[in-house]
Amino acid sequence: MITAQTIITVVILYLAIINVVGYVIMGVDKKRAIRGAWRISEASLFFTALLGGSLGCILGMQHFRHKTKHWYFKYGMPAILVVQVLLFALLFK
């Protein structure tokens, strides 16, 4: 039988993993940008954020100084995070 504790544990584990993925892909894309190599699409970066990795993407943007001058990343990623936090708060109230 699946308990509420199990569901919460799975959700937290999922969020931890997807945020690490968001952080890492920002770093990988920055490294590829420096080398002039094939890049990760902006749609993929935003999709990772929408899947729950917005905090990781934001931290990656700041740490690697990547995509910080693009307004749609500068304001879009935090907007996604705010919506996700509000949804999380409503769901687990």
Mean pLDDT by 10 residues, the chain (93 residues): 90 96 97 95 96 96 92 93 93 78
Q: Tell me the pTM.
A: 0.90
Residue-level pLDDT at 75 = 94
User: Helix H segments across 1-93?
Assistant: 4-35, 42-48, 54-64, 71-74, 76-91
Residue-level pLDDT at 88: 86
Report yes or no: 12 and 47 within 8 Å, Cβ to Cβ.
no
